[in-house]
Structure formats: structure tokens, C-alpha cells
Amino acid sequence: MRFTSIISFALLAASALAAPSATTLRVSYDTVYDNRSNSLNIVACSDGPNGLITKGYTNFGSLKNFPNIGGAQYIAGWNSASCGTCYQLTYKGKSINVLAIDHTDSGFNLSLQAMNKLTNNQAENLGVVQATVTPLPASACGL
């Protein structure tokens, strides 16, 4: 009986660790991510085994989630295992799904178009916001 309880507790703890959790992070914008013709060669998630070019994408516009793209603190650098991860960002009740394609030092750095969707067209006025971030499956961002 006690052995079963220990196994049940271990399984419950493992599932809690595996479940995505939400956190609040800084979100800003950079208009470099707004140009659909920009090559993926200019971002951390370019080539290499974890890169997006090796998955058949060529430029920002080739990503199904464009313009909801940008840098994320979870992308350590070139060829990060986190390349192409998807996150839901929520600000004042509005949510968007963002595809992480580049590194940023803190939080997320999105296209201006994505940040305008998130902030009800207030990106330039606000500059930086704090948003709730929840990891999603890559399929939620078109990968």
C-alpha cells in the first residue's frame, strides 16, 4: 500500500514538472521582424540541426505564423534546441501565439505588427509591456 502511494506521488510530481506553466515577462518590439522578405540567415534560428532553414523555411514570410515572430530569452543563441518554440503571450486579456526565431536577452522582442495585435495597436505608445507567457506546442504556431 505504501509503495503504491509513493509511486502515485512520484507520477503526480513528474506530471506537474512536465506541464507548461505561465510566467510574466518583458515584451518589446523590433521592426526588423516585420519585413517578410528578411532572410532567416539573420536570426539565431537560421541553419544547423535546430535551425528553421533546415526545416524548409527561407525568410520571415515563409513562416506560417508571420508576423507573430520574434526573439525570446529561451533561445540561447545560434542553433538553440529552443528554435521554433511557440508561446502564448497575454496582455490585458488579449492573447497571441508567437514563434521564437531569435535570441533576446530578456523576455520577448516581437515584430511591431505582433506587438500591436497584443496591445490593441498601442505598441509604439507603450514601448514595453509585461505579458503572461505560456509555452505551447510548436503546432500552435504553424510548425
| Topology (CATH) of 21-141 | Barwin-like endoglucanases (2.40.40)
Prediction pTM value: 0.85
Cβ within 8 Å of residue 4, ≥6 positions away: none
Give the Cα separation of 138 and 55 in Å (integer). Answer: 13
23-29/108-110 β-pairing:
parallel
For residue range 26-81, list pLDDT tens digits in order: 999 999 999 999 999 999 999 999 999 999 999 999 999 999 999 999 999 999 99
What CA dihedral angle connects 91, 94, 100 and 103, to 10 degrees? -20
CA distance 81 to 83: 6
Q: What is the pLDDT of residues 88-129, one digit of tens each?
A: 999 999 999 999 999 999 999 999 999 999 999 999 999 999
In the chain, domain spans: 21-141
